[in-house]
Structure 1
Amino acid sequence: MEASNHQDNASKRERKREQQDDFDLPDDYVPYVPLAKRRADMFSKLSAKKVGYDLGDYGSDQGSPSNRRTKGNESDQDEENEKSLPIIGPRSGISLIEQSVEIRKAQFSAEEQKTDAQKALEEEAKILAAVKERKQLASAEEISKGIVYRDPIKTTWTPPRHIREMSEEATLAVRQKYHIDIEGEEVPSVIKNFRDMKLPRPILDYLKNKGIKIPTPIQMQGLPVAFSGRDMIGIAFTGSGKTLSFTLPLIMRALEEETKMPLAKGEGPIGMIVCPSRELARQTYDGFVGIADLLHKGGYAQVKTLLCMGGINMQDQASVLQGGLHIVVATPGRLQDMLAKKKFNLDLCTYMCMDEADRMLDMGFEEEVRTILSYFKHQRQTILYSATMPKKIQDFARSALVKPCIVNVGRAGAANLDVIQEVEYVKQEAKIVYLLECLQKTPPPVLIFAENKNDVDDIQEYLLLKGVEAVAIHGSKTQEEREYAINAFKSYQKDVLVATDVASKGLDFAEIHHVILFDMPKEIEDYVHRIGRTGRSGKTGVATTFINMNSSEQILLDLKHLLREAKQKVPPVLEALEDPTEKFKDMGVAGGCGYCGGLGHRVTECPKLEQQQKTKTGGMSRPYERAGNEM
């Protein structure tokens, strides 16, 4: 009886479970299959499919009706399954490790087929791409808002009709005659005399009094470009008249604006010049004041200029700030400080020139320049000038320019051909004594450059003890001492000026016959700027350079190539140096470093790049003081 009841209960539970299962399970229910079984099924299907491909491709019964029927039946049955299967390639039977080995062998074989020149150029391209500046040289507001200027600003200046109607062949002939190379769209024509540039009579008289009768090559092309409102990169050797190329256009623009509507208190400037050193800013400022005074005496409106640099009391120029301000000549640190304090604004500023632009960026003034650009309210004409402008700096500078014209007189970084370069091997301990003998080469005034401040002071003290009238300037001297030294030297009260690179960039010493480099600088660009203080405005000068074992081999190789380029005598000590760039010439590859422009090394051995990388990684501070204490 109990057994019968137990069987009845079991059968009831089973029927109840079947009823529940029938009620709960959906129609598309798929029973669970363990993962291992699913993988095994998938592997078997893939293997069968691969075997089928092999038989279909190479089997003897490929085209028989029975095979076709079999394949057709299998295709019908497995159509849905095959859609979900991955496509099997011809190398599915080769492991990934074996495929990786084959790829590496192929790459190695292709690498072996490359020439040494191709390998070297690829390595240099990687280095240049790694150090390329990514950040655009523009204000933060322009970058954030995506402001892009498409067309240059418009000016009212137009060249005379006979210049406008000059044929392209005639313009090209003039450029070739004066070795003027240009890049850009619709570059204005060359103008070979100042009268055709429509300059006022007082400016023509000023140029005549200075002994400037005809424009230099950089002025022939640079002035029409600047007068037309075009952005420009100007490159020319030292002493070629670059200062006048950016001074006259700003004077003319300020004079035009003042004539149309005089500036009221708190307005201005119309334009500004940014210089890397105080001495260069002072020299540029004096040139503006001289031209403005002659214009005012000739009956034209008064053009006011402000000198804005460290080491001077700005209260002395309070009268300039109280009225309308037309032109500002400044160093980056003090200019940034004055703009932050709202002493003046750039609301009306439409002209900006950076003199010695590449040196300014190399000295670390890039962030100051970006900050200054952020104060502009609208588009401006931007002009960059220098004697040495490596391609890296040119490409970087173009990010701030609108359809720029690049005007190049000679090779960027080439030495002035009017300078006779003499290189002498002098032991370190004998250099200061040998100076007296070198001073006998030419009559005074003579300019002596030394690498560090202590050497400058030692040389001045030694010359004074020997009865030589000498003055000295360097970054640690006060502004009064520096200005006294420059003025005494320019006025011929002193025969010798001993200086660091403070005096090497842009300063115009018209009558210097001899420049002595007490030690070879670490960069060839500094050498070009130093010797460029003589041989200016078409005059001939002499540059004597001391070298010894303390000079690096890379800089000596650069010097060797620079002497050859200028057709100067190369001393035996430089001729004996093994030149690693000769192999590139044999391969047909142009020599020179794409980073600094030196001719005696490639970018892989560039000392300037190496030093800058060390500075970045080591967290070293800049070699000068900030905000108003520029070199």
Structure 2
Amino acid sequence: MDSELASKRRRVQRSPSPTFKYDDEDDSYEPYVPVAQRRAAKLAKLSSFGVNSDRQKAKKQLEELLELEDAEREEEKRRERARKERTLLVEAQEVHSRRAVEDAKKTEVEKAEEADAEILAAIASRRKLASDMELAKGISYLESLKTTWNPPKYILDQTEEHHRQIREKYHIIVDGEDIPPPIEHFADMKIPHELVDFFKTKRIVTPTPIQLQGIPTAFAGRDMIGIAFTGSGKTLAFCLPLIMLALEEEGKLPLIRGEGPVGVVLCPSRELATQTYENVLVWTDALAKGGRYPQLNTLLCIGGISMGEQSHVMNKGMHIVVATPGRLIDMLEKGRFNFKSCKYLCMDEADRMIDLGFEEDVRNIMSFFTRQRQTLLFSATMPRKIQDFAQQSLVRPVLVNVGRAGAANLDVLQVVEYVKQEAKMVYLLECLQKTAPPVIVFSENKNEVDDIQEYLLLKGVEAVAIHGSKTQEERQYAIKSFKSGAKDVMVASGVASKGLDFNDIQHVIIFSMPKEIEDYVHQIGRTGRSGKTGIATTFVNMSTPEQTLLDLKYLLMEAGQKVPPFLQSIDDPRAVQGGSLKGCPVCGGLGHAISNCPKLEDTQRRQMASHRAADDGGGY
């Protein structure tokens, strides 16, 4: 009972609840007064005036004031209604009209440049080349791989000005941070004397420009973009560093079955992969013959051949893999080997490898890497679009460029002749008389390749043909018989134009001019290799697109070649408009802008075809 009374007393005596006051509250706060009451208060105030005339005057002022307030409210309501009635279509029309006025002030050249910039920005938005794990986890590498190689002390002691003079001497353009110095002799690169002596037997005495800057860059562990004209020795520039890396890894701890590879070279075609593989075998055999170095194991991983034939390589530790993307993915997915110890990736003809068509395959291959790797991209033609994309994907890359990317080999004499379509076959026989065999004839059409071969055989010319529809055995036979000298002429589609090195080709005949100027550069590059000179004869006529002819005209002018009158007569519409004659960033052609690029058009056409096939259920 006493406890209940005490509890009641405590409740009664409890202090009142506190009241809170916000910072923005003011003691002078006035409550809201409706409009009608405010008007009545004003009338009452005015009615207290003593004189009638003053009262009337004040009343009139009040009425005017009230009318003005009413008018303002009506205007605000009207604006609100107008805002509600305003649609996106009206806004879009206004924006369009404003742009139309702005566009009217611009010249045609400015409009074209803006359109090109928009197209380039649209196609440039691509994910960087990295594995899925790296992209998902946001892994990025800030430092290049460290290697044990260092240039000789006397080269390190040379000034940067001296290095610059050497690069200028060989027309080498470099870009990047902490660029390794150029080295003019193989011995100074610390290459084993067994290889140096072997190079001398093959008349390779001094490094070519891409080699004297590219090999030290790769030896230093740097990611690299290497650009040089066809036949300039790019294969040695990226294979030699891989061979030396594999020797170093084997020296640390010999590889056993199931281990490796240390590095991989990716090629866009089986023929180019086979050629690179054969070069690597020759160079590694030359090293092993000296007795100081172990024999390195190299695997050729391409479609069309039985991998069982190379089981003797796969049953041992593999040091080097030379591959095409499709077969490499197949072997990795089957677990025949892995990339756990792989730290070197090179892509030959890289502009084709990371362009549409192969890009997803390359990304798939990247996903098998579990560690940082050194990445090298080499090509003769690497447009700015691909260079920009590669710069984003590599780690502190060094760009090594010998001449303009996409420029023709200056050792090739380019002859362009106007030949009617019906006269091409007959004139081809005349052209074959210009030089001694072997000769390569290029055509863009597979059926035409077969027709040319058949015609030449009927005329008693020993000819073989190669194109994408041939079986692997037929392609290998054609290349082998042509290289050995058993056949005098090879008729080929674009398959044989990418990187293939044939001995002593003095003459290349381009039977049908390709639409893309890049393909032309690769095709004429089959001659004039390793410092030798060669001739490239190209047939053109009314069926050749004018834009392609304009690209060809500028390429001839750039190389200091003779420009025939019918090409000189072709005017560049950009020059007429007063625009800047920049090269196309997609294909590197000098005669058109990105909006007229045949390569971009072809890419878009392929994409649309693949989308249609997907919509139709994949063609089933």
Determine the structure 1 residue equivalent to 2:587.
596
Alignment of 1:200-239 (within 5 A): 200-239=192-231
5+ residue gaps, structure 2: 1-31, 40-61, 63-72, 614-620
Among 354, 358, 368, which residue is 2:351 paired with?
358
Opposite residue 173 of structure 1, the aligned amino acid is Q
User: CA contact under 8 A between 2:574 and 2:581: conserved in structure 1?
Assistant: no
**CA distance in structure 1 between the aligned counterparts of 2:99 and 2:123, rounded to whole angstroms:** 26
User: CA contact under 8 A between 1:138 and 1:399: conserved in structure 2?
Assistant: no
For the residue of structure 2 that corresponds to 1:402, the secondary structure is coil
Determine the structure 2 residue equivalent to 1:411.
404
The structural deviation recorded for 1:360 is: 2.3
* Gap change, CA 1:103 and 1:611, over 3 Å in 2: closer
Among 592, 598, 608, which residue is 1:617 paired with?
608
The structural deviation recorded for 1:361 is: 3.0
Paired positions, count: 541
Among 106, 111, 124, which residue is 1:119 paired with?
111
Determine the structure 2 residue equivalent to 1:379.
372
* Gap change, CA 1:103 and 1:132, over 3 Å in 2: closer
1:431-450 CA-partner distances (Å, limit 9, x unpaired): 11211100011111101111
Q: Please state if 1:564 is matched with 2:557.
A: yes
Q: What TM-score do you get using the length of structure 1 for normalisation? A: 0.82
**CA distance in structure 2 between the aligned counterparts of 1:108 and 1:614, rounded to whole angstroms:** 31
**CA distance in structure 1 between the aligned counterparts of 2:308 and 2:119, rounded to whole angstroms:** 49
User: CA contact under 8 A between 1:473 and 1:500: conserved in structure 2?
Assistant: yes
User: CA contact under 8 A between 1:581 and 1:591: conserved in structure 2?
Assistant: no
Determine the structure 1 residue equivalent to 2:456.
463
**CA distance in structure 1 between the aligned counterparts of 2:487 and 2:312, rounded to whole angstroms:** 34
For the residue of structure 1 that corresponds to 2:177, the secondary structure is coil
* Gap change, CA 1:107 and 1:326, over 3 Å in 2: same
**CA distance in structure 2 between the aligned counterparts of 1:129 and 1:316, rounded to whole angstroms:** 47
The structural deviation recorded for 1:480 is: 1.9
Determine the structure 2 residue equivalent to 1:500.
493
For the residue of structure 1 that corresponds to 2:354, the secondary structure is helix
1:438-476 CA-partner distances (Å, limit 9, x unpaired): 001111110111112211111111111111111111122
Percent identical: 61
The structural deviation recorded for 1:251 is: 0.4
For the residue of structure 1 that corresponds to 2:573, the secondary structure is coil
Alignment of 1:88-487 (within 5 A): 107-299=99-291, 300-362=293-355, 364-487=357-480
User: CA contact under 8 A between 2:352 and 2:358: conserved in structure 1?
Assistant: no
More divergent stretch after superposition (483-492 vs 274-283) = 483-492
1:494-520 CA-partner distances (Å, limit 9, x unpaired): 111111111100011130000001100
Determine the structure 2 residue equivalent to 1:18.
none
* Gap change, CA 1:611 and 1:101, over 3 Å in 2: closer
* Gap change, CA 1:339 and 1:101, over 3 Å in 2: closer
* Gap change, CA 1:103 and 1:239, over 3 Å in 2: closer
User: CA contact under 8 A between 1:194 and 1:215: conserved in structure 2?
Assistant: yes
**CA distance in structure 1 between the aligned counterparts of 2:102 and 2:110, rounded to whole angstroms:** 12
* Gap change, CA 1:374 and 1:105, over 3 Å in 2: closer
User: CA contact under 8 A between 2:453 and 2:465: conserved in structure 1?
Assistant: yes
Q: What TM-score do you get using the length of structure 2 for normalisation? A: 0.83
The structural deviation recorded for 1:573 is: 1.8
The structural deviation recorded for 1:189 is: 0.7
The structural deviation recorded for 1:619 is: 2.6
For the residue of structure 1 that corresponds to 2:433, the secondary structure is coil
Determine the structure 1 residue equivalent to 2:10.
none
The structural deviation recorded for 1:579 is: 1.3
* Gap change, CA 1:329 and 1:104, over 3 Å in 2: closer
More divergent stretch after superposition (398-407 vs 368-377) = 398-407
**CA distance in structure 2 between the aligned counterparts of 1:477 and 1:107, rounded to whole angstroms:** 55
**CA distance in structure 1 between the aligned counterparts of 2:153 and 2:272, rounded to whole angstroms:** 37
User: CA contact under 8 A between 1:268 and 1:324: conserved in structure 2?
Assistant: yes
Runs of 4+ in 1 over 3 A off after TM superposition: 91-117
More divergent stretch after superposition (170-179 vs 124-133) = 124-133
**CA distance in structure 2 between the aligned counterparts of 1:258 and 1:287, rounded to whole angstroms:** 20
* Gap change, CA 1:206 and 1:106, over 3 Å in 2: same
**CA distance in structure 2 between the aligned counterparts of 1:381 and 1:153, rounded to whole angstroms:** 7
**CA distance in structure 2 between the aligned counterparts of 1:261 and 1:617, rounded to whole angstroms:** 51
Among 562, 575, 579, which residue is 1:582 paired with?
575
More divergent stretch after superposition (115-124 vs 316-325) = 115-124
User: CA contact under 8 A between 1:580 and 1:601: conserved in structure 2?
Assistant: no
For the residue of structure 2 that corresponds to 1:282, the secondary structure is helix
**CA distance in structure 2 between the aligned counterparts of 1:169 and 1:312, rounded to whole angstroms:** 51
* Gap change, CA 1:409 and 1:531, over 3 Å in 2: same
* Gap change, CA 1:194 and 1:99, over 3 Å in 2: closer
The structural deviation recorded for 1:92 is: 11
The structural deviation recorded for 1:134 is: 2.3
More divergent stretch after superposition (605-614 vs 294-303) = 605-614
The structural deviation recorded for 1:93 is: 13
For the residue of structure 2 that corresponds to 1:617, the secondary structure is helix
For the residue of structure 2 that corresponds to 1:533, the secondary structure is coil
* Gap change, CA 1:103 and 1:133, over 3 Å in 2: closer
Opposite residue 572 of structure 2, the aligned amino acid is D
Q: CA RMSD in A?
A: 2.7
Opposite residue 166 of structure 1, the aligned amino acid is Q
**CA distance in structure 2 between the aligned counterparts of 1:263 and 1:107, rounded to whole angstroms:** 66
1:104-141 CA-partner distances (Å, limit 9, x unpaired): 77655543443443322211111111222422221111
For the residue of structure 2 that corresponds to 1:619, the secondary structure is helix
Opposite residue 591 of structure 2, the aligned amino acid is G
